[in-house]
Amino acid sequence: MNNSNIYTLGTKLLSKTFSVNSICLGSGADEKGNNDAMNLLEGHLETFNFPIAFKHVSGKNYCDLMGSGWGILYLISDRMKHLLEKERLTGWKCFPIEIVDKNGKKIQEVYHGFSIVGRSGSIIYKKSDVIEKQLVPNGPLSKYYKGIHPEMETWDGSDFFLPKNHWGTMVTQKAKDIMVKNKLTNIMLQNLAEIEVGVNTVLDY
């Protein structure tokens, strides 16, 4: 499998979409350098007290994929969970959450925390093309890597996965096609071949 058959998973960040922030997750790092959101994303659930609480902050339109207030961590609807189970897509698991309104009253819509347990090797930027872009008229040229390439020799074959030392969720063509066909809402999928990353933002490859 090459990067033209892999996509990043994210939300559309629409203003009318129901959105939440976490109430109890901490930003401090543990002995591995991970904060709470990273551990939940990676499926390291042993030290948490469930359910994890989230509070409604804006929007009213419920969707299938919801941001959590942490850029890397998502919540999924019951509909999305059942679809992934029905289609036997791999590389994910759920954890219990609850959502409350601004007055602390529990909201009855059913959502689940979304952990990604599939894995691949690291992103290999040496495989990317280097392009130059001028971001403003008469401004300097900036260098970007065009296309990102996870090391797939150690990919475990999962439909949802995280590259080593990377917290952006990636999905296979199969998973992308199923989500699009079933019209899951608030989902943004970007092909890895089209992603651009500033060269000066990559510390080591």
What is the per-residue DSSP string for 155-186? Answer: ----SEEEETT--S-EEEHHHHHHHHHTT-TT
What is the full DSSP assignment across 90-135? -SEEEE-EEEE-TTSPBP-S-EEEEEE--EE--B-GGGSEEEEEES
| CA–CA distance, 39 with 45 (Å, rounded to integer) | 7
Token digits of residue 142: 């900036």
| Residue 76 contacts residue 115 (beta carbons within 8 Å) | no
3-state secondary structure 24-47: CCCCCCCCCCCCHHHHHHCCCCCC
What does pTM read for this prediction? 0.93
Query: Where exactly are the structural domains of the chain?
Result: 3-197
13: how many CB neighbours lie within 10 A of its CB? 10
pLDDT at 126: 93
Angle at 177 between CA 163 and CA 9, to 5 degrees: 35
Alpha-carbon Rg of the chain, whole angstroms? Answer: 18
Angle at 37 between CA 107 and CA 82, to 5 degrees: 50
pLDDT at 57: 95
Angle at 131 between CA 129 and CA 136, to 5 degrees: 155
Q: Which residues of the chain have pLDDT under 50?
A: 205
pLDDT at 205: 44
pLDDT at 204: 57
